[in-house]
Amino acid sequence: MVKRISPGSMLHTFIRALAALFGVSLTWIYAPALSLGGTHPFADPWARVGLIALLFAMWFAYRGIARLMRGMPRLRVVWAPPPQVATEPAQGRPGTRQGAGEPAAQESAAVTRCVDIAPPAADGDAVAKLERGFDAALKVLGRGGPWWRLGRNSAYRLPWYVVLGSAGSGKSALLNASGLEYARDGMEAGLRSTDPCRWWIADEAVLLEVGVPGTAAGQAGHGVPDHAFWSVLLRRLRGARRRCPVNGAIVTLAAGALFGDTDGPQPDVAALRSRLKEMRSTFGVHFPVYVVITQCDRVAGFRAYFDDLDAARRAKVFGLTFPVADTDPSQDGVKSFPVMCRDLVQRLHGRMVRILGSRATLDRRAEVYGFPAQFDLLTQGIARFLAEIFTPSPQAPLPWLRGVYFTSAEQAGGPVQMQGASPLATSLATSVHAAPQALPHLRSYFTARLLRDLVLQESGLAFRRAALVPQSRWARYGAGAVLLSCAIAVCTGVGLAAREDEVFMARVNDRLAVLAARARQGVSQDQPASMLPLLDAARELAAPPHAWPMSWLVPWRPAVRVAAAGRERYLEVLRQTVVPVIARRAMDVASDASLDAAQRYQALRVYLMLGTPRVYDAAVVMAWTQGQADRFLANRAQRQEFMAHIKALFGCVTYAPHIQLDPPAVARVRAQLMGYSTLDRLYADILGRLTKAVPDTLSVARMGGVNAPLILVRASGRWLTEGVPGAYTVEGYRHYRQLRDAVLAEIEKEGWVLGMDSGASIAARRAALKNDLDKLYFHRYIAAWDDLLNDMRLVPLSSSPGDVWLIRMLAAGDSPLRLLLKAAAVQTTLQPGAADPASGAAAASPPAGGAPAPSTADGSGGDPTRGTIFGSGTASASPASADTPAPYAADDDEPTSVDRHFDTLHRLFVPGSASGVAPMDEVQGALKETAVYLEAVQAARQRGLPMPAGDALDKLRQIAQVQPEPLRQMLQSLSANGDSLALNTERRRLNDLWQSSAVFCHAALDHRYPLDPYASVDVTPDDFARVFGPGGAMDSFFQANLLPYIDTGTSPWKWRAGATTPKMSDATLMAFQRAAAIRAAFFPDGGKALSIRFLLQPLSLDASITRFSLALSGTTLDYAHGPVRPVEFQWPSGSGTQSVRLAYQTGDTAADRAFTIDGPWALFRLLDRGRTERVRADRYKLTFNLGGRSVTLQLDASSVINPFALNALRVFRCPEQL
């Protein structure tokens, strides 16, 4: 390959290049050491560059002169005109071909067309996925073939096809339904649906599914490659199969897009044309394009028309295949498509008559009748699509259109009605067309044999134009260029390394000056933050030199040795500054009597480690320092910087403790620690380790499942992602037992912390300490679960009837409440070998994420005296009580105090001996009945029926009484919410019923007399009777709907005590009571018509009035200072005229003075003109002022229930809402 660049074989050329590289390296490194007359002429880098350039020039001059001398005998000078080289490519015009005698034109065309693809910057993730998929595919394909070929012939054993289409156009469905068996082993990197390029490798072919941008909303960025990605794909295809990158292309187009279906995929014609153009120009292969119309079931009538086809006929190919033309295949198919489609439509019409007779329903026949017209319109849209895609231009020839085929791989979505079909089909479709019925199973139409028997059988149609073949000499030139580039890169790298060393040395000098300046400023051990500038400067000194690719050529670089010395200086600065600060801080904490024993013990332990090499533990020191840094460094950034220096010091394997301990201080601290409780110190140590071993919280969301937020809330307002610390779970208990034994064993070995030569005293108390630790752990275990379960509540039901689904969810087998209680039962069962209390439920392990729940300062997690949840419990109030039962021991099978405390919880899931049903199952059965009842209430309300009778809520309340807390509180709250929901539903139903009567009530009574005493318009007697009369709007509604809920025996009326009543306002209740009072006053004896009887007699008459008369509908009271005689009146009278006339005479004139009031309510308007005073319930005194003269009458009603001075009549208003 390199022979065309220089003589000799490739091996010789490689050896020469390698020797030149080493020569350049040696010259660069050792030339400065040459001395001429006491000077070093090559110390300057540019002098060395000149020397190397001179050596290369001399070598090239020698090679050139030698070659020229060898070629002199064959040198001849020939004078001839230069050959004419064609400047236009051979395929500039359709139909032209290059002959064999035109090599220059062929070479020029080849150079013109073989342009390397330089893709722009592509999306890194997408390109990485493409590279992985391509490599995996080549690996799968390379498994065949002879071993000595190294799989290089495998890429050509199968034809390759590219499947193009917009997202949702049915590419994957078409390939799945093709009947090909695809390889899955080794292709995980190229079969994910989210990949922009999916690989389908079958025994017959390799198919690449690639998306094309569409115009529908949401397609952008959904598996559609950008231009850069597409360029990379074309480059990889051309590199894998240079002779024939692809054997064809399959373009998928959804039928709905041609019908104007905006919800479906809309192909971008310009993008698709651009993709095909780039494939043609990049590959240089003339390949066929198969257009597949997918989702043809969306065409109205498709299913009805082809419903009777059996599997064999559905597997056939349905479409058009165009003949291969020698001149311009692409244009031939576009021109032939309309003519061939007309023949296809005629065949559909011919088959329609037979199909119409086999369809049983009118709507199916209408679909069959309209299908040929719909198909004809579909072909018109396809013709426009083909014309836009496959019409070539002289500048952009396209692959030829081989065929158009119609398929339906999956039936999804309803048909799309194309405008412009026949009037008869359209009228039938619009009149009897029903929603498409789902098939019992998916059917594949015209896909099974399309790829296998048609497309793949034509894999040999693709051919390469001679002008597009890349010349092999470019590969040879490229290899030489790569070799030359490597040589230049190595020489440049060596030079840059030397330059970097010089720069690094100058930088080290600057850093030394900065470090010296910071050291002169000094630091304060009381303020660790003041050390950071000095430590940062020292760390900069330890920074390694820049690593360059060819650094292995110069392992003796001076910069490496300088950097090692800088690191030693950095560690020395750390030992002189940081270690004294940590030691002082450790002794201060150990001497602080206000801290607990565990903290002081750990501080003393660290202090002793810093001065005792045999017990030094870097991990312990760094962990303790991390905790202390939060206290003496307030700034987070400062803490991070300080801990970085700490890790650099103690993480170094060469560090050895060196501080001088203070024996008197150590003895004083040891004496104080010996007086503290060993139990508290050991438990604090165990809890710290346990929290690290099981750091995740067992949250409510984890135990209750994904539906827990829909059902459960916490009374304290905490998140459901919080819960029980992982230390108090079954997993935590397992770690606790291991840590407990480990700590007890360690404390025996760490007697040196407290100054004991051996752990004999602790070993003697080992059993007692173990028992006390278990007591304390179990007590806090119980407290943690009590806190959680006491805090749980159910989400209250709203007034919406749609919330019945919450009760359904509670009654389900995967109810969050059931799962929570199951998990709690499992996690509180610590007895070894105990049966699962949750009836085989899987134990809920601590989650993978979450934060530990907050605890008290001592880690107890709660008050030791809190009450229990499930029953009275058997756990003592204090973990150290003498009467506390012995906890679980490692070799003991007795139940622990945790098991006994939560025994009632465990029995919730244990079937009863009598009924054989677990209590939790009984609770869920009652919940199911409650859900059914509330659904019946909702259905009754929707149908306008009264609330159905049922005892489901009462049964739920009864079951709740015997359940332990907090389950009892949850069920009682749920039953109360259910009552409220049912009654609210009933109230809404009653309110809806009332609205029909309320319209008439407002129209008849609002702003009318006598309800409005100032109104000029009267209420008609008929309307008054229809509203207030017996059986009227108010009375009938009250009797039919409200009477069972109201106690009418009291005044005012009240809702019945102890009854479940709809939530109505007291104003509504008062309105119906006033209506009843009006009915009793105006409609005595239950009559349908208004009837009032009363007596009038004069009581006094002004002396100036000689005569007084009052006439009411034909009845007259006449008085002239004579004997008093009462007159009986009736209102309304049967005469039909309703009027009142009041007249009187005075002594100064004989003429009557009178006024008349007309209208159905004339009597009451007359009473309003006078003053009415109540004497008793059935007697009133009426006084009229007649021009300064008074007349007093006595009115005796026929009953104590009468309308005179009736306040209910004046204040009554029609209820707006119940």
The pLDDT value given to residue 729: 93
Half-sphere exposure of 605 (CA within 13 A, CB side): 22
Element containing residue 581 per DSSP (H, E): helix 558-591
Query: Do 582 and 538 reside in the same domain of the chain?
Result: yes
Q: Give the per-residue SS3 of 483-524.
A: HHHHHHHHHHHHHHHHHHHHHHHHHHHHHHHHHHHHHHHCCE
> Could you tell me if 711 and 806 are in contact, meaning their C-beta atoms sit under 8 angstroms apart?
yes
| One-letter amino acid for residue 1105 of the chain | I
Rounded to whole angstroms, how far apart are CA atoms 1027 and 1083? 12
Query: Do 129 and 187 reside in the same domain of the chain?
Result: yes
Which tokens sit at 1090?
């208004």
Radius of gyration of the chain (CA): 51
Q: Which domain holds residue 30?
A: 10-66
Q: At what angle do helices 919-942 and 804-811 cross, to 10 degrees?
A: 160
Element containing residue 1169 per DSSP (H, E): helix 1162-1169
Rounded to whole angstroms, how far apart are CA atoms 1072 and 1074? 5
Q: Give the per-residue SS3 of 656-678.
A: CCCCCCCHHHHHHHHHHHCCCCH
Element containing residue 293 per DSSP (H, E): strand 289-294
Rounded to whole angstroms, how far apart are CA atoms 1069 and 1027? 16
Burial class (CB in 10 A: 0-12, 13-18, 19+), 312: exposed
Could you tell me which of 215, 209, 212, 317 has the C-alpha nearest to residue 257?
Answer: 215
pLDDT tens digits, residue range 633-675? 767 888 888 888 888 888 887 788 888 888 888 888 888 877 6
Query: Do 657 and 709 reside in the same domain of the chain?
Result: no
Half-sphere exposure of 604 (CA within 13 A, CB side): 29
Domain-embedded: residue 473 = no
Rounded to whole angstroms, how far apart are CA atoms 421 and 909? 67
Q: How far is Cα of residue 8 from the mean position of the Cα atoms in its chain? A: 66
Query: Do 779 and 630 reside in the same domain of the chain?
Result: no
Helix (H, G, I), strand (E, B) or coil at 13: helix
Which tokens sit at 522?
């000094």
Torsion angle of C-alpha atoms 510, 513, 515, 516, degrees rounded to 10: 170
The pLDDT value given to residue 870: 37
Query: Do 728 and 615 reside in the same domain of the chain?
Result: no
Residues lower than pLDDT 50 in the chain: 1-9, 74-122, 148-152, 215-222, 420-421, 424-425, 428-440, 465-472, 758, 838-891
Q: Where are the beta strands (DSSP E) in 920-977?
A: none
> Could you tell me if 382 and 404 are in contact, meaning their C-beta atoms sit under 8 angstroms apart?
yes
DSSP string, 191-245: --TTSSEEEEEBSS-EEEEEEE-BSSTT-TTSS---HHHHHHHHHHHHHH-SS-S
The pLDDT value given to residue 748: 66
> Could you tell me if 1074 and 1212 are in contact, meaning their C-beta atoms sit under 8 angstroms apart?
yes
Which tokens sit at 598?
């565990």
Rounded to whole angstroms, how far apart are CA atoms 52 and 682? 73
Rounded to whole angstroms, how far apart are CA atoms 683 and 771? 12
Domain boundary at 66, 88, 110, which? Answer: 66
Domain-embedded: residue 1017 = no
* 47 phi and psi angles, rounded to 5 deg: -65, -40
Domain count, the chain: 5
Q: Give the per-residue SS3 of 70-112.
A: HHHHHCCCCCCCCCCCCCCCCCCCCCCCCCCCCHHHHHHHHHH
Whole-Å CA distances, 803 to 710, 806, 940, 969? 11, 6, 16, 19
Domain-embedded: residue 1083 = no
Domain-embedded: residue 624 = yes
CATH of the domain at 1104: 2.60.40
Rounded to whole angstroms, how far apart are CA atoms 70 and 725? 89
What pTM, to 2 d.p., does this model score?
0.42
Domain-embedded: residue 1154 = yes
Number of DSSP helices (H) and strands (E) in the chain, helices first? 39, 24
The mean pLDDT value of the chain amounts to 76
Half-sphere exposure of 540 (CA within 13 A, CB side): 19
The pLDDT value given to residue 1158: 87
Query: Do 617 and 757 reside in the same domain of the chain?
Result: no
- The partner residues of 455 in beta bridges, in order of sequence, read none
Give long-range contacts, CB 8 A cutoff, 24+ apart: 433-441.
433/363, 433/366, 433/367, 434/363, 436/303, 438/411, 439/303, 439/411
Domain-embedded: residue 930 = yes
Angle at 1090 between CA 1086 and CA 1094, to 5 degrees: 100
Query: Do 655 and 705 reside in the same domain of the chain?
Result: no
Rounded to whole angstroms, how far apart are CA atoms 1086 and 785? 68
> Could you tell me if 528 and 585 are in contact, meaning their C-beta atoms sit under 8 angstroms apart?
no
Domain-embedded: residue 987 = no
Query: Do 204 and 291 reside in the same domain of the chain?
Result: yes
* 821 phi and psi angles, rounded to 5 deg: -65, -35
Domain boundary at 402, 434, 461, which? Answer: 461
> Could you tell me if 137 and 206 are in contact, meaning their C-beta atoms sit under 8 angstroms apart?
yes
> Could you tell me if 162 and 244 are in contact, meaning their C-beta atoms sit under 8 angstroms apart?
no
Query: Do 628 and 705 reside in the same domain of the chain?
Result: no
Whole-Å CA distances, 161 to 45, 158, 282, 290, 389? 57, 10, 15, 10, 19
Element containing residue 1185 per DSSP (H, E): strand 1179-1186
Domain-embedded: residue 437 = yes
Query: Do 588 and 728 reside in the same domain of the chain?
Result: no
Query: Do 554 and 592 reside in the same domain of the chain?
Result: yes
Query: Do 772 and 711 reside in the same domain of the chain?
Result: yes
Which tokens sit at 224?
């559609």
| One-letter amino acid for residue 520 of the chain | R
Rounded to whole angstroms, how far apart are CA atoms 620 and 627? 11
Residue whose pair of structure tokens reads 């934060």 in the numeric block: 851
Angle at 1022 between CA 1016 and CA 1026, to 5 degrees: 110
